[in-house]
Structure 1
Amino acid sequence: MKLALAQLGVEATDLDGNLDRALAAIDAATARDADLLALPELWNVGYFSFDAYPRAAESITGSTLSELSDAAAERGLALLAGSIVEDLAASADAGVDVPEPEGLANTAVLFDADGERRAVYRKHHLFGYESAETRLLTPGEALPVVDMFGFGIGAITCYDLRFPEQFRALTDAGATLVLVPSAWPYPRVEHWETLPRARAVENLAYVATVNGAGAFEDAELLGRSTVYDPWGTTIASTDDEPALVTAEIDPGRVERVREEFPALRDRRDY
């Protein structure tokens, strides 16, 4: 399976321009014969544009995700549509199952190649360090894992990388590929490179981090979107400029690595 990560150049509050860049990434991924494309965290509004969250918020059945999923489905491309600011009340009104029928959430949605919504992940760990996320957003509860392309695909978002117990819960639910849409800024480069590699090693799974690129008033995204294999080896990566990262990944490799090095079988409960 060919995985593509769209490290989009994100412009603060430029909803139309950011959508155009996401649609262009769908075309670019299709041209490279990708099977699954992942977008970054809050790519349409910009993570650090906190004041714009309320006006950017919409249902997950709204125009932004609908346009993206339609465009991907026309090309036979599965899509993790990064994350958007979800208006939970609007989603509830549209018949979507939501944890709380009010407030906002940082929500990632996975569509299959037919444009069908297969999974909804709402960010669990809200970032409290120099961030308004904890004040503005409602944390999620569900940890969906979906069978696609021979993988058990799960998703977490950015700050969730710091919580290994969440990854282990995904592994217990069958995840063999974890997608990580993010908006990770400078200067924490070492954290960005170490944490997903550690999660891949701990869980003997593929981990793919897709970050944004671009500068905001108080932060600059560091890019470096990367695919790690089940040994924690980097198999594809890039720098801090907008880019499309692609990698061939194999579900059978997870099975072989877990058989060769059966650390998961040696776990003990505490």
Structure 2
Amino acid sequence: MRLACVQLGVEGGTVEANVDRAIELVREAAASDADLVVLPELFDVGYFAFDAYARAAESLAGDRLSRFASLAADAGVNVLAGTVVEDLAASAADGIDTPATDGLANTAVLFDRDGERRLVYRKHHLFGYGSEETDRMVPGESVPVVDVESVRVGVTTCYDLRFPEQFREMVEAGVECVLVPSAWPYPRVEHWRTLGRARAIENLAYVAAVNGSGEFGDDALCGRTTVYDPWGTTLASAGEEPTTVTAEVDTDRVEAVREEFPALRDRR
């Protein structure tokens, strides 16, 4: 599976402009034979644009995500719509299962090549350190996995990287590649590098840590989108500027590494 990780330049609060730019970059990646395109966390509104969350929120069946469903079908590509601000009440009214019937969620949605919604992941670990996310968002409850191009894929979001037990739950469900849409800021660059690699090494799985790029007042995203293989080797990586990072995900490589180094079997 050819994976394209879009390190989008996100502008705080400019929802339509961010979405238009994301759609253009997904089309470019699809034209370059990507099988799965991944966008970063809150690419629509910008993570640090807290006051714009409510204005940007929509149902998962709303117009904005419908554009990505149509895009996936038109371009014939799988798309992880990074994360967006979900209006849980609106989603519930549209018949979508939600962890609560009110509030907002930080939600990733994966569409397949037919534009069908295949996976919904709502961020579990909301970030409270110098952030308003915990005050404005409702945490998710489920940790779904799904097959994409014969690869078992799971999703976590940004701060979830610090909680290895969540990754173990996905490994129990057979995950081979974990997508991590993020809005990881300076100055914690070394944490970003270390945690993504560690999750790959300890779970013997691919990890695609997909960050945004951009400045939000005193805060700035550090970029450095990186794809690690099941041995923790860096397959592809970026600097801090907007770009698209591509890598091949090979399930045979997962099987071979797990057979050669059977740490998952040795757990007690």
TM-score band by shorter chain is over 0.9
Please give the residue correspondences for 1:140-219 in structure 2 after superposition, counting only pairs within 5 Å.
Answer: 140-219=140-219
Distance in 2 (alpha carbons) for counterparts of 1:235 and 1:5: 12
Output one character per residue of 1:106-129: Cα deviation in whole Å (capped at 9) or x when no partner.
Answer: 000111111110110000000010
Aligned letter for 2:131? S
Paired residues for 1:90-109 under 5 Å: 90-109=90-109
Matched residue SS, 1:263: coil
> Which amino acid letter does the alignment assign opposite residue 27 of structure 1?
R
CA distance in 1, matches of 2:94, 2:150: 31
Structure 2 distance, partners of 1:52, 1:206, is 34
- Structure 1 stretches of at least 4 aligned residues deviating more than 6 Å after TM superposition: none
Q: List runs of 5+ in structure 1 lacking aligned partners.
A: none
Which residue in the other structure is 2:245 paired with? 245
Q: Name structure 2 gaps, 5 residues minimum.
A: none
Distance 1:69 1:185 in 2: 29
Q: Which amino acid aligns with 2:91?
A: S
CA RMSD of aligned residues (A): 0.7
Match of 1:133 in 2: 133
Give, in whole Å, the separation in 2 of the partners of 1:119 and 1:7: 21
Residue identity opposite 1:35 in structure 2: D
Separation in 1, partners of 2:20, 2:50: 21
2-structure distance, mates of 1:69, 1:192: 30
Bigger mean CA offset, 144-153 vs 119-128:
144-153
Query: What does 1:117-132 correspond to in 2, within 5 Å?
Result: 117-132=117-132
Q: Give the drift of 1:34.
A: 0.3
Give the CA deviation at 1:31. Answer: 2.1
| TM-score scaled by length of structure 2 | 0.99
Amino acid at match of 1:69: A
Q: Tell me the amino acid that sits aligned with residue 29 of structure 2.
A: A
Question: Distance between the aligned counterparts of 2:176 and 2:146, measured in 1?
Answer: 10
1-structure distance, mates of 2:3, 2:34: 6
- 2:84 is aligned to 84
The alignment partner of 2:179 has SS state of strand
Q: Find the counterpart in structure 2 of residue 232 from structure 1.
A: 232
**Residue in 2 that maps onto 1:69:** 69
The CA deviation at 1:218 is: 2.3
Identity %: 65
